[in-house]
Amino acid sequence: MIGLGGRSQSHLAALSELTSENVELALLCDADETVLAKKGAVIEKQFSRKIPTVVDMRRVFDDKSIDAVCFATPNHWHSLGAIWACQAGKDVYVEKPGSHNIAEGRKMVDAARKYDRIVQHGTQCRSSPRIQEGIARLKEGVIGDVYMARGMAYKVRPSIGQERIESPYPGLHWDLWVGPAASRPYSQVTHRRWHNIWNYGNGEIGNQGVHQMDIIRWGLGLDTHPTRVQSMGGIFVHNDAQETPSIQNSSFEFGDRKVLVEFAIRHWYTNTEAGMGDEFPFVDKKNAVGVIFFGSKGYMIFPDYTSYRTFLGPKREPGPSGIDTGDPMIDLPHFRNFFAAVRSRKPADLTAEILEGHMSSALCHLSNIAYRTRRTLTFDPADERFVGDSEADALLTRPAREGFAVPRVV
């Protein structure tokens, strides 16, 4: 288990359930010794045994007895960590978004293929029985011909505060934490609220939105990148250190496909939409997050990770629906699916194989690039480059940092 931050709690809960299925948690890794000590004690009680710890993930890869690694690190470590793991002969479960940028996402796919590794992406909705059922109904035509899909992440997010440069606290190996990102001095704000800092995170669209982007791609059968992208927004509520937008509206076109994809981010008080956030609450019971598919016969919503609903005709009469009252986060079945594929050695057994993760993460990255360049962008899906736009192309990757460079050839 690499990275003991917020998402690791769900990972560990799933892994503890799977100990009866011959899954052993062998090693804990985090660049923060304080976190290792504090959470290690909790994990020891959870698993009824003391689990060894290391601060440098490369020591995990050196251990020949380890078959697989799970990454719950910040985004900027996802790709390089997964590539190193594949090169070391490990299978990988990597949190969303699989990459910090598009170029590194492609390298993850290349590494999985070259080293014949099982790599699962953390878009766990793919393992939800009700979401699977809803997508099947959608493709069967329950709402007719789909002409648009809209995703949203409306969350009340407080200010992250102002950045104050200071020395890292004892036990935090800051150079290891920064890893493949650009070297920056420590500040508590960027360390704790890294999702909002371009150097480490991808904003709300990369944090929450990648789940909904994945459902949209899945439902529409989009196996290629968009050809045209627009994104506008800004930081309109708080005056703080946040760099990523708190308001963001994005649109995507896919060549000759007669379908429009939209995504909206809002970080303060706002309305709900299509019943999502009030009648159909999100898993946190306080925000409006989900997907709407619009068709010639009605519309379908996915308001969380375990349900779908349809509304048909001009009167929006309720149609087929499915609700699962189990684990609202779906981590356990997603991990169970991962380990089943580890045993079968068949990537096709994965519900969220890394290529799907790369494609869905890329939608988030393209949105952010359009936002940062402030113009409509034309993208070449085959080459994964922009058409005649060197400034936008520069944001497809990031400068290599010595000792932590993503290899050009994996």
Residues 6+ apart with CB under 8 A from 101: 79, 365, 395, 396, 397, 398
110 burial type by CB count under 10 A (0-12 exposed, 13-18 middle, 19+ buried): middle
Assigned token pair, 406: 């993503």
Residue 238 · residue 159 · CB < 8 Å: yes
For residue 329, is pLDDT > 90? no
List, for residues 161-211, the tens digit of each pLDDT value: 999 999 999 999 999 999 999 999 999 999 999 999 999 999 999 999 999
Predicted confidence band at 122 (pLDDT cuts at 50, 70, 90)? very high
- What is the model's pLDDT at position 326? 78
- What is the model's pLDDT at position 327? 79
- Please give the Cα distance from 80 to 356 (Å, whole number): 18
How far is CA 115 from each of CA 94, 112, 267, 327, rounded to the nearest angstrom? 16, 6, 41, 33
List, for residues 272-301, the tens digit of each pLDDT value: 999 999 999 999 999 999 999 999 999 999
Where do the domains of the chain lie?
Answer: 136-163+174-323
- What is the model's pLDDT at position 363? 98
List, for residues 64-81, the tens digit of each pLDDT value: 999 999 999 999 999 999
Predicted confidence band at 242 (pLDDT cuts at 50, 70, 90)? very high
**What is the CATH superfamily name and number for domain 136-163+174-323?**
Dihydrodipicolinate Reductase; domain 2 (3.30.360.10)
- What is the model's pLDDT at position 328? 85
